[in-house]
Amino acid sequence: MPSLGADMEAGTLVEWQIQPGQEVKRGHVVAVVETQKGAVDVEIWDDGTVEQLIVQPGQKVPVGAVLALLRAPGEAPGAAAPGVTAPATPVPAPAPAPIPAAVAVPPTAAPRVKISPSARRLAAELGVDLATVQPAAADGIITREDIERAAQARKPAAPQPADWHARMRTAIAAAMSKSKREIPHYYLATEIDVTPVMTWLAQENLKRGVSERLLAVVPMMKAVALALHAVPGFNGFWVDGGFKPGAAVHLGMAIAMRGGGLVAPAIHDADSKNLDQLMADLRDLINRVRGGRLKSSEMSDPTVTLTSLGEQGVETVYGVIYPPQVAIIGLGKITERPQAEQGQIVARKMLTATLAADHRASDGHSGALFLAALGRLLQQPEQLSKTTDQKLSQ
């Protein structure tokens, strides 16, 4: 069966115009085939003798099927060669299965989360659980903004230490720069004999368990706080062109952060707490500085700052005032030094205390008075262990 057209797949033999034994020549019309377009004459392309008619009239066969066998000239009878046509192409594929009628699609199961592709990817990146996200839009579709908000809210009240530390350093840098730019610093220093307080401390610590022992700086803190009461102009803030004395003495304690930098959070009401309370507060502050868990009020409340760098081996501290404070007291290393006393050279435990102060709020005269008061207070350590209710002598 010849291929007669691009879309012909089969044909029906209508009639043969030859019979077995007949000689045919190339171009001879040998059959009539019915196609979808009508009846077509089929010609033969070879010379020869008809051997056998295979397909009968009325039969429908696909393109490529053998219709008859032809004997080539000179060939013996019985040696059959495919007759009318032998198409090189294979028989066409069977008719495709009938297209089924429309199928009812069952409704989908649980409703999906409605979220934009970009938001979904962002949630994966930030590790946000979609179940916890509240879309802001009325249509309930989650967007990038919703994911960003959820990621923010998920952060703990105190941020990761590393993060917090970085921010602290930035804040400190800004504060110190401002301080040096705007505050006219003046500096005073004095040597204080701390032998009495150190002796007293040693005895006090014998009464205390290891975990309650007072650090050397604690009586100093109390002495500073009380001295600030004695001499005005050093506890408070410089605001709006004038000095505002602090209502209480919130002592900012300079504490080193892990990873570098100092912060000076407040110990509130340092003047009215006893030494054990001050110690506890200090320990707590140190722990929280290490863990990065300070409250913002602790950072902004100090009315004055104390920095003690004796542990680091520094003898004299030239401090930088934390604005808007007006003073910073520095305590150096406690060393045994030779002192002249009543014509004798004795070894005394000495400490250099410095005052850096805002010259707009105070001057060297009052600064000197402050340091003198501090020195005097430290000569009577047993007085320091009392709380404010007890009056102190000048």
Partner 1 sequence: MNAAPAATRTTYREALRMALREALARDPRVFLMGEDVGRYGGTYAVSKDLLEEFGEERIRDTPLSESAFVGAGIGAALAGMRPIVEIMTVNFSLLALDQIMNNAATLRHMSGGQFSIPLVIRMATGGGRQLAAQHSHSLEGWYAHIPGLRIVTPATLEDARGMLRTALEDPDPVLMFENALLYNLEGELAADAGAVDIDRAAVRRGGSDVTLITYGGSLGKTLQAAETLAQEGIQAEVIDLRTLRPLDDATIVASVAKTHRAVIVDEGWKSGSLAAEIMARLMEQAFYELDAPVARVCSAEVPVPYAKHLEDAALPQVPAIVEAAKKVVGRRV
Partner 2 sequence: MNIDRDLALALLRQMMRIRRFEEKCAELYSAGKIRGFLHLYIGEEAIAAGAMRAFRPDDAILATYREHGHALARGISAGAIMAEMYGKAEGCSRGHGGSMHLFDAGTRFYGGNAIVGGALPLTVGFALADKMQGKPRVTACFFGEGAMAEGEFHESMNLAALWKVPALFLCENNLYAMGTALERSEAKTNLCAKAESDGVRAESVDGMDVVAVMEATQRAADSVRAGAGPMFLEFRTYRFRAHSMFDPELYRSKAEVEHWKQHCPIANFSAALRKQGSLDDAAAARLEQEIEAEIAGAVAFAEAGTLEPVELLTRDVYTPRNAS
Cα–Cα dist 102/71, whole Å: 54
Strand order across the beta sheet in which 23-24 lies? 23-24, 48-53, 68-71, 81-82
Answer for the pair 292, 160: CB distance below 8 angstroms, yes or no. Answer: yes
Looking only at residues 342 through 381 of this chain, which bind partner 2 when binding is defined by CB under 8 A?
A: none
Q: Which does 288 bind (CB under 5 to 8 A by kind): partner 2, partner 1, none?
A: none
Q: Is 39 in the site for partner 2 (CB under 8 A)?
A: yes
Output the smallest distance, CB 19 to partner 2, in A: 22
Residue 58's region, left for phi above 0, alpha for psi from -120 to 50, else beta, is left
Q: Which is nearer to partner 2, 86 or 171 (CB)?
A: 86
Q: Which of 346, 351, 314 is nearest to 335 (CA)?
A: 351
- Helices 217-230 and 195-206, axial angle in degrees (round to 10): 130
From candidates 8, 13, 122, 334, binder to partner 2 by CB under 8 A: 8
Q: Which does 143 bind (CB under 5 to 8 A by kind): partner 2, partner 1, none?
A: partner 1
From candidates 45, 72, 171, 346, binder to partner 2 by CB under 8 A: 45
Cα–Cα dist 305/307, whole Å: 7
Q: Which is nearer to partner 2, 7 or 240 (CB)?
A: 7
Q: Is 27 in the site for partner 2 (CB under 8 A)?
A: yes
Q: Is 21 in the site for partner 2 (CB under 8 A)?
A: no
Q: Is 148 in the site for partner 1 (CB under 8 A)?
A: no
334, with CB counted inside 10 A (0-12, 13-18, 19+), is: buried
Answer for the pair 115, 142: CB distance below 8 angstroms, yes or no. Answer: yes
Cα–Cα dist 1/66, whole Å: 6
Q: Which of 334, 331, 327 is nearest to 363 (CA)?
A: 327
SS3 320: coil
Count of residues touching partner 1 (by CB under 8 A): 11
43, with CB counted inside 10 A (0-12, 13-18, 19+), is: middle
Q: Which is nearer to partner 2, 35 or 380 (CB)?
A: 35
Q: Which does 137 bind (CB under 5 to 8 A by kind): partner 2, partner 1, none?
A: partner 1
Q: Which is nearer to partner 2, 36 or 312 (CB)?
A: 36
Q: Which is nearer to partner 2, 86 or 137 (CB)?
A: 86
Place of tokens 């003690």: 308
Adjacent-strand bridge partners of 244: 237
- Which H helix or E strand runs over 348? strand 344-358
| x/- letters, 356..385, toward partner 1 (CB under 8 A) | ------------------------------
| x/- letters, 104..143, toward partner 1 (CB under 8 A) | ------------xxxxxx---------------x---x-x
Which residues contact residue 197 at a Cβ distance below 8 angstroms, ignoring those fewer than 6 apart? 216, 219, 220, 378, 379, 381, 384
Adjacent-strand bridge partners of 335: 350
Kindly report the number of other CB atoms within 10 A of residue 393's CB atom: 7
Looking only at residues 83 through 122 of this chain, which bind partner 2 when binding is defined by CB under 8 A?
A: 85-89
Adjacent-strand bridge partners of 48: 24
Which letter does DSSP use for residue 234 in this model? S
Count of residues touching partner 2 (by CB under 8 A): 22
From candidates 3, 12, 366, 379, binder to partner 2 by CB under 8 A: 3
Q: Which does 27 bind (CB under 5 to 8 A by kind): partner 1, partner 2, none?
A: partner 2
Listed ranges 34-42, 93-101, 147-155, 191-199: which one lies at the site for partner 2 (CB under 8 A): 34-42
Q: Which does 6 bind (CB under 5 to 8 A by kind): partner 1, partner 2, none?
A: partner 2
Q: Which does 119 bind (CB under 5 to 8 A by kind): partner 2, partner 1, none?
A: partner 1
Q: Which does 64 bind (CB under 5 to 8 A by kind): partner 1, partner 2, none?
A: partner 2
Residues that bind partner 2 (CB under 8 A): 2-8, 27, 35, 37-40, 43, 45, 63-64, 85-89
Residues that bind partner 1 (CB under 8 A): 116-121, 137, 141, 143-145
